[in-house]
Structure 1
């Protein structure tokens, strides 16, 4: 009789449209699961005929909203944790590459400084020796001094070409000596300071090379003589073309490098502003900056 009353109650409940046949209790069981668990097979069969399924069959559709929210929060937490780990690993890799690139920049600057010192010594040596080996020799016989000349005076001293040679050669000599003094006295630790010092010294060395070239060309007009003056003119045209092309190319590289450096500073500022909003974005910006900073060659 008790079983019969249960059947009638279940049948009555199933007759209402408002009855939720997919309801799940706290133990994650449906009415069908409870009927099977308690051994009411007749009720279980009736429930199955009315579409009531076990919790295992309807679990995706019958999940608790609170449980769904908890699962969503857990998924987001794991995703954020993974993103943070990936971001930290990427940042460590970027920092490692940046250290190697900075080391390469430092080695390149040191090589440039050493090379500049050698070149400055070479120019100073050549400029110093040139003034004492001018063509035409000197007045060296005390018993045979021409009127208007003095002992030790160069025979070509009154000529304008020699005056040009003397002025330009002397300036090149003292510029080179100044560079040698600075290079051997000043110790710069900061990479930015090294670049600034090298930028100034390089321009001075360019100027010294131009002065030595002008001094050489001026003296060439005396050496070839009046009859072969066209040789000196030809050498002047060739030398001027070579020096102008070289210095023009160097100026182009310097200007281009400064423009790119200015753009990189702008990208750094924008990436630093975006770090407060997104770590991943900042790592991507660091990677782009790193790729742009990795240059095989540049001029300062």
Structure 2
């Protein structure tokens, strides 16, 4: 009897536990459902991701296309500006006030020089060749200074002696500056225009021979003397001949050439009464002195305006050996 009561007491209790457990099981979400939700949250579908990426890339592509379009426009503008600058630089007057013909002549651009001149009538070409920049230089002058003989050949076909002799602000004309620079080829081209160019002088009476002799350009000196040997006799405003200049600067080969053309120039005095020998003893070339006394030893006795012979000056300078 007691056992039955215990069993009856236990039975409802067990049933309640079983029932309670069943409730708990029923109320718990299934593992599959949870996993599916987690997977759906963590791993969106490939299609969705691709669509999201595409929607994100479209604005980026539009930005890149705009940048590319902008870059192309800028490159075209820079290319246009660059070509404009090149044209501007080619024909720009620059700091010297050069005209296009000056620039072409200075650069030795013969084809450009020809192009400019062929587009001019006869009178216009002559007028253009007479144009001077801020330094007073003509196109012929700048070509001569830079030794562009082929350009000179082109230019002289359009000009006369008067135009060719136009001096720059420094007093030199095209022939003179070519002699100073030692450009023999240029001088030959200019002499084809007129041999009288050898006689042009600057404001101080300096000839191309004076300048070439002082610079020691022996080939130029010989060319000028062959053109007109009387150049050796021409003195500057201060009375100095080319022989004076060469002797003072120690140009031995030039002195030899000048004396061979006219030995009498050794006796020529400047305004101070000094000969080329007076000039030579101020230097330190014994051979130069010996060359100058070769024509006549009596030159040693010639005095300047102060009564000094070349020997006196040599003594004062400490040049006696």
TM-score in terms of structure 2 length = 0.29
Q: Larger Rg: 1 or 2? A: 2
Tell which has more relative contact order, 1 or 2 (C-alpha 8 A, sep 6+): 1
